[in-house]
Structure 1
């Protein structure tokens, strides 16, 4: 939920140097909320708080990674069933925007370590089955080779029989697949390789990284073209065709990807130049977070993570993964209770007003259109965390959904700030262009007509197109409208609106 605009005290309308308050930054969001750790189940929230304290990092980073870890543990094997015709997979895409000095790597290690431990356990358990499958395949290959040899040495009816045996052997061999080693997480990887590993792993995979290089690759930094197909389908769960070298293509019926990345602010700045990335719908699927830096305010001797807290966190994630591991053909359905459904209806009504013309989400309609589904997914993950052994035997409660909604509001405010930085709000973009002109020319006053004559006519086709950005600049304290003088009895065109600029921008400071 975006914060309301703080009212500004009136500034002098005579253009005096004194009496002006410092102008506010041009953004639709003034202050960003902190991740609501208390909306998480106790065992998860304690881990988030403890890691944030021990590593001296904003709680937002371990909080977002906690959701990514839950999404990985659930492994795409559960759906939040809001209504009979509406089910959301409970996998999430989270991206945290942080500077390089924010200690991301130790936080990743603390929050994702149980997932890697689970992966090692699954690999150990699968060794015998993989070895047996390899032996059976080699034996089948030998049988096929012998059958093919028999075909070449026989004649007449005997050859026909040998051919039939060879076809049967080839068919049996084609059915024999050696399972891939279990892999839950990948890091430094290309989108093409993600698709291949996703197919090998039965459509379940997490991309977790404290570097976020793959995000730049997806955005087309090196190829000049965004590559989002696997991430679009891995979010919605729609059928994905994976083409392989020297092997038949494979269909992944219900892919489920998890994304948990941190990127530098410069990457977000570059996204505004990648129109295809926004147009594809990829950014609309991401829960962005832009934590406030703690650099300069960090403790030198913080408390370590208590061992019981860490142990419980590890144990619960493994329990969730083990409980859902066998749900391969059909995902476990996590149904909404009537109370949760009622709250969802309230949320949907609120979203409609935000998306309406003139609403605060008008410029992020693609992201806002998925917001209700995102909150449903978060509710599903919180529910799994509350019932790690048998989540499908309980309904998602109203309290759980209310907590998911709180987390959703956190992400909504951060999404507004992120998309502001990307440059998705035309009024905000136009206001920045006007402010750039003011900073460059440093006028004490100017008229709308002056501004219209000076700016690009391709962007501002009519003088009235400047009204919205001028109002935004005035709201943020960069300019002040000068009331037009009375013109009793005069006819003709009214004078163009005049504005004083903040003394900060004036060349004449006398």
Structure 2
């Protein structure tokens, strides 16, 4: 009888010879095809063979063991090379997905680090590239603005969303980039501690001056008493500040928070906050996870994107007013959470969805064949290059040293200005986007998102400018603006594709399958209700499912004239239709 971790399972005789094979799952999850006759007889047919070694075969076969270190053949079945996602690599999108992030548009150091992460973590390069832009915006947003026109400037924070399924490598990638903030956090803490110490010294100086004046014989009695009272109050304030200094500002907050709790934290954090969340918890909270399914308070999310004044309206949940709420959201959820967000009527109507740079690159699961690996007893050919990580940490540290705008007059804030060439190029792009918003344009069906697009591109340009080593004292070049526009066009393709990539709910999918199976590629609402749902679907639910299908951009509603009332028909869009 077979022993150990593998049990023999008899199979019919191998068609290519007298070899009966069996299959078993290894402890590491590899599907192993093993010959039932003694010795390594690899079966013929498709598959990629990998040679593994085992000290003792007696726990696999019930006959005598083979010599030590005898090779065992592991046959990894080949997978389909067609269908959605086929052919995906870190730098090539799989079938059915929008193209990969254009890394050539990034500054050299940023490009190198993004590509390095994509290879090491075996993830689409879109994930590290977009996450880096989001984290850059979280540090720059509270401190730096960019101005295109005399009376039009933009903050530099971003809302980014890169959706990948669980197990696709999101967390290791995002964690490494998040850890790059440690140097910036340390610098921020040092500045905070110096500011607190300077405040204590200033209070102590004021106390001494007041007491000196109070002891002066020329000071009137009433004024003397007032000075001593004020000195005592300031002395108490200095003592309390020394005993319990305020906490240092935080650069990052966890995704498991509510808008109300986040507003309270921002009020104590110079009005700034960045939520870096690789699970999508924050989006679930916005969608009503803690409020019985009712969409959460979206006010902070709407105002925080534009870095405006925010004062909570809810009487029962009080938070201090924030002069300039600078919020950054860097989220990497599962695609299903993105689908829920895009279907959420409140998020759609208020414009929350339209503030995000959205990317759904498709996973590499099943295609991750180039993951670097070195056995722990071996000496690596070369040690890990930490250049990218060190560059990233230093870049964030440099930006965090800009003064937080807060209550400062925006005119006095650190501001990136454009060269005339960059200004002209952005103007031309703005006009081109405007034309594409027309009914026959490719952006018409996502016009609510696209109307914010040129401002987003301006923000991206500012971040590329800073990532390239320039400062707010340097003018932004035309080439940097061209790179930002390139990234902007990539983001347009992904948002256009998002509706169909995130997947449909089960019932919307049933409608799609039915329509696709008809000869003409269409069906009336009444036929859908009768044939698909057997008359058991509520009218409002049927409307929602059809809305969801139409929102993908691949289907449309049309009204057909009949001898009676016009009939609503849902059909697949004809080739070339917008």
The normalised TM-score by structure 1 is: 0.71
In 2, are the aligned partners of 1:209 and 1:260 still within 8 Å (CA)? yes
Cross-structure match for 1:369: 451
Answering whether residue 389 of structure 2 is matched by residue 310 of structure 1, we say: yes
Structure 1 residues 416-431: aligned runs within 5 Å: 416-420=496-500
Residues 275 and 174 of structure 1: CA distance in aligned 2, closer, same or farther (over 3 Å): farther
- Out of 347, 355, 358, which is 2:437 matched to? 355
C-alpha contact 2:515 2:571 (8 A) present in aligned 1: no
Q: RMSD in angstroms over aligned alpha carbons?
A: 4.2
**Residue number in structure 1 paired with 2:560:** 463
For the structure 1 residues 469 and 47, does the alpha-carbon distance in structure 2 shift closer, same or farther, using more than 3 Å as the test?
same
Residue 411 of structure 1: how far off its partner (Å): 1.1
Offset of residue 321 of structure 1: 2.2
1:386 maps to: 468
Structure 1 residues 326 and 272: CA distance shift in structure 2, 3 A: closer
Alpha-carbon distance in structure 1 between the residues aligned to 2:443 and 2:464: 26
Any gaps of 5 or more consecutive residues in structure 1? Answer: 1-21, 141-157, 425-429, 478-510
Residue of structure 2 in register with 1:54 after alignment: 120
Mapped pair 1:345 → 2:427 = yes
State the alpha-carbon separation in 1 of the partners of residues 571 and 84 from structure 2: 14
State the match for 2:369 in structure 1. Answer: 299
Matched residue, 2:252: 185
SS of residue matched to 1:185: coil
| Cα distance in 2, alignment partners of residues 34 and 71 from structure 1 | 21
Specify which structure has the bigger relative contact order, considering alpha-carbon pairs within 8 angstroms and separated by 6 or more residues.
1
How far the C-alpha of 1:454 sits from its partner, in A, is: 2.4
Are the aligned partners of 1:96 and 1:289 in contact in 2 as well (CA < 8 Å)?
A: yes
1:416-448 CA-to-partner distances (Å, cap 9, x unmatched) read 122456799xxxxx9978644446xx65x4697
CA deviations 1:160-193 (Å, max 9, x no partner) are 9989987997799899985431201001322112
> How far apart are the structure 2 equivalents of 1:395 and 1:447?
54
In structure 1, the partner of 2:281 is: 213
Higher share of residues assigned helix: 1
1:412 aligns with 2:492: yes
Question: Hey, what's the Cα distance between the residues in 2 that align with 1:90 and 1:361?
Answer: 24
Q: What's the TM-score, normalizing by structure 2?
A: 0.64
Alpha-carbon shift at residue 466 of structure 1 (Å): 7.8
What is aligned with 1:204?
A: 272
Other-structure match for 1:85 = 151
Q: Is residue 481 of structure 2 the alignment partner of residue 401 of structure 1?
A: yes
Conserved? CA contact 1:226–1:276, under 8 Å: no
Match of 1:237 among 307, 317, 320: 307
CA contact (8 A) 2:422 2:476 kept: yes
Given that residues 269 and 421 in structure 1 are in contact (C-alpha distance below 8 angstroms), is that contact kept between their aligned partners in structure 2? no
Q: Aligned pair 1:227/2:297, yes or no?
A: yes
Q: 1:118 aligns with which of 184, 196, 201?
A: 184
Whole-angstrom distance in 2 between the partners of 1:50 and 1:475? 39
- 1:335 CA drift (Å): 0.9
Partner of 1:146: none
**1:253 corresponds to:** 323
Measured in 1, the distance between the counterparts of 2:284 and 2:316 equals 29
1:492 aligns to what? none
CA contact (8 A) 2:335 2:502 kept: no
